[in-house]
Amino acid sequence: MVVRNYNEELKYLEKINPYCWRIKKGFQPNMNVEGVFYVNNTLEKLMLDELRNSCRPGMTGGFLPGVKQIANVAALPGIVGRSVGLPDVHSGYGFAIGNMAAFDMSNPKSIVSPGGVGFDINCGVRLLRTNLHEKDVQPIKEQLAQSLFDHIPVGVGSKGIIPMNARDMEEALEMGMDWSLREGYVWAEDKEHCEEYGRMLNADPSKVSLRAKKRGLPQLGTLGAGNHYAEIQVVDEIYDKYAASKMGLERTGQVVVMIHSGSRGFGHQVATDALVQMEKAMKRDQIEVNDRQLACARINSVEGQDYLKAMAAAANFAWVNRSSMTFLTRQAFAKQFKMAPDDLDMHVIYDVSHNIAKIEEHVVDGKVKTLLVHRKGSTRAFPPHHPLIPVDYQLTGQPVLIGGSMGTCSYVLTGTHQGMTETFGTTCHGAGRALSRAKSRRNLDYKDVLTKLENMGISIRVASPKLVMEEAPESYKNVTDVVNTCHAAGISKKTVKLRPIAVIKG
Amino acid sequence: MFKLKLTALGHPNPESFNCEDEKEYRSVVLWLEDQKIRHYKIEDREGLRNIDADSWKEAYDLYQKDLVSPVSDGSPNEQLNWLLSYAVRLEFADNVTKYKDAKIEQPKQAAPNVVSSNPLDNLNFSSPAFVNGVERVCALTGVGPHIDPKLRLAAVAKILKTSPHPDCPRTEVSVVQQPADVLKLLFIQDLRDLQTKINEALVAVQSVTADPRTDTSLGRVGR
| Rounded Cα–Cα distance for residues B176 and B172 (Å) | 6
Catalytically active residues of A, by annotation: 429
Q: Does B219 touch chain A (CB under 8 A)?
A: yes
pLDDT at B105 over 60: no
Contact A394/B220, CB-based, under 8 Å?
A: no
Three-state SS at A46: helix
| Rounded Cα–Cα distance for residues A97 and A93 (Å) | 8
pLDDT at A61 over 70: no
Q: What is the DSSP secondary-structure string of A422-487?
A: HHSSEE--B--BSS-HHHHHHH--HHHHHHHHHHTT-EEEES-GGGGGGGSGGGB--HHHHHHHHH
Contact between B186 and A118 (Cβ < 8 Å): no
| pLDDT tens digits, one per residue of B196-223 | 999 999 999 999 999 998 887 887 777 6
Confidence band, pLDDT 50/70/90 cuts, at residue B194? very high
A111 φ, ψ (degrees, to nearest 5): -120, 165
| Rounded Cα–Cα distance for residues A317 and A329 (Å) | 18
Q: Which residues of B23-46 are buried (b: 16+ CB within 10 A; e: fewer)?
A: eebbebbbbbbeebbeebeeeebe
- B157 CA to chain A: closest CA distance, Å? 16
Higher per-residue pLDDT: B24 or A381: A381
A156 → closest Cβ in B195, B215, B222: B222
Give the pLDDT of residue B117: 60
DSSP β-ladder status, A459-462 and A492-505: parallel
Give the pLDDT of residue B170: 60
| Rounded Cα–Cα distance for residues B42 and B65 (Å) | 18
Q: Cβ contacts (< 8 Å) between B198 and chain A: which residues?
A: 188, 192
Residue A26, phi-psi category: left (phi > 0), alpha (psi -120 to 50), beta (remainder): left
Contact A161/B219, CB-based, under 8 Å?
A: yes
Give the pLDDT of residue B110: 46
Q: In chain A, whose CA is at the least distance from the CA of B207?
A: A184
Q: Report the number of secondary-structure helices (H) and strands (E) in chain B.
A: 9, 0
**Region B152-160: what's the mean pLDDT?**
82
Q: Cβ contacts (< 8 Å) between B215 and chain A: which residues?
A: 161-163
Q: Cβ contacts (< 8 Å) between A385 and chain B: which residues?
A: 184
Contact A162/B164, CB-based, under 8 Å?
A: no
B190 φ, ψ (degrees, to nearest 5): -60, -45
Q: Is A228 annotated as a binding residue?
A: yes
Amino acid A47 reads M
| Rounded Cα–Cα distance for residues B52 and B26 (Å) | 9
| pLDDT tens digits, one per residue of A247-272 | 999 999 999 999 999 999 999 999 99
Q: Is A120 annotated as a binding residue?
A: yes
Q: In chain A, whose CA is at the least distance from the CA of B166?
A: A366
Q: Is A463 annotated as a binding residue?
A: no
Task: Give the ipTM of the model, two decimals please.
Answer: 0.87
Contact A158/B220, CB-based, under 8 Å?
A: yes
User: What residues have CB less than 8 Å from B163, skipping those under 6 apart?
Assistant: A366, A367, A368
Give the pLDDT of residue B9: 85
Q: Cβ contacts (< 8 Å) between A192 and chain B: which residues?
A: 195, 198-199
Please tell me the least confidently modeled range out of A112-126, B3-17, B133-147.
Answer: B133-147
Give the pLDDT of residue B102: 65
| Rounded Cα–Cα distance for residues A339 and A126 (Å) | 22
**Region A127-143: what's the mean pLDDT?**
95
Contact A328/B214, CB-based, under 8 Å?
A: yes
Mean pLDDT in chain A?
93
Confidence band, pLDDT 50/70/90 cuts, at residue B106? very low
pLDDT at A364 over 50: yes
pLDDT at A495 over 70: yes
**Region A239-248: what's the mean pLDDT?**
96
Q: Is A404 annotated as a binding residue?
A: yes
β-bridge mates for residue A261, sequence order:
A124
Give the pLDDT of residue A114: 96
**Region A17-37: what's the mean pLDDT?**
95
Higher per-residue pLDDT: B140 or B154: B154
Q: Does B204 touch chain A (CB under 8 A)?
A: no
B221 → closest Cβ in A188, A392, A463: A463
β-bridge mates for residue A255, sequence order:
A234
Instruction: State what percent of residues in chain A have pLDDT above 90.
Output: 81
| Rounded Cα–Cα distance for residues A74 and B198 (Å) | 42
pLDDT at B115 over 50: no
Three-state SS at A97: strand
Give the pLDDT of residue A101: 97
Confidence band, pLDDT 50/70/90 cuts, at residue A361? very high
Amino acid B153 reads L
Q: Is A8 annotated as a binding residue?
A: no
**Region A120-134: what's the mean pLDDT?**
96
Contact A464/B188, CB-based, under 8 Å?
A: no
User: What residues have CB less than 8 Å from A174, skipping those under 6 apart?
Assistant: A203, A204, A205, A313, A316
Of A163, A185, A181, which Cα lies nearest the Cα of B212? A185
pLDDT at B118 over 70: no
B219 → closest Cβ in A160, A363, A366: A160
Residue B83, phi-psi category: left (phi > 0), alpha (psi -120 to 50), beta (remainder): alpha
Contact B188/A395, CB-based, under 8 Å?
A: yes
Contact B216/A159, CB-based, under 8 Å?
A: no
Confidence band, pLDDT 50/70/90 cuts, at residue B142? confident
Contact between A46 and A40 (Cβ < 8 Å): no
Q: In chain B, whose CA is at the least distance from the CA of A183?
A: B210
Q: Does B183 touch chain A (CB under 8 A)?
A: no
Element (H, E) at A324: helix A302-337
Of A179, A204, A317, which Cα lies nearest the Cα of B210? A179
Note the pTM of the prediction, 2 decimals: 0.78
pLDDT at A437 over 90: no
CA dihedral B106→B112→B113→B117, nearest 10 degrees, is 160
Confidence band, pLDDT 50/70/90 cuts, at residue B107? very low
pLDDT at A332 over 80: yes
Give the pLDDT of residue B172: 63
Q: Does B109 touch chain A (CB under 8 A)?
A: no
Q: Cβ contacts (< 8 Å) between A162 and chain B: which residues?
A: 213-215, 218
Contact A327/B212, CB-based, under 8 Å?
A: yes
- B160 CA to chain A: closest CA distance, Å? 12
Please tell me the least confidently modeled range out of A388-397, A456-465, B43-52, B182-191.
Answer: B43-52
Helix axes A479-489, A41-55, angle to 10 degrees: 110
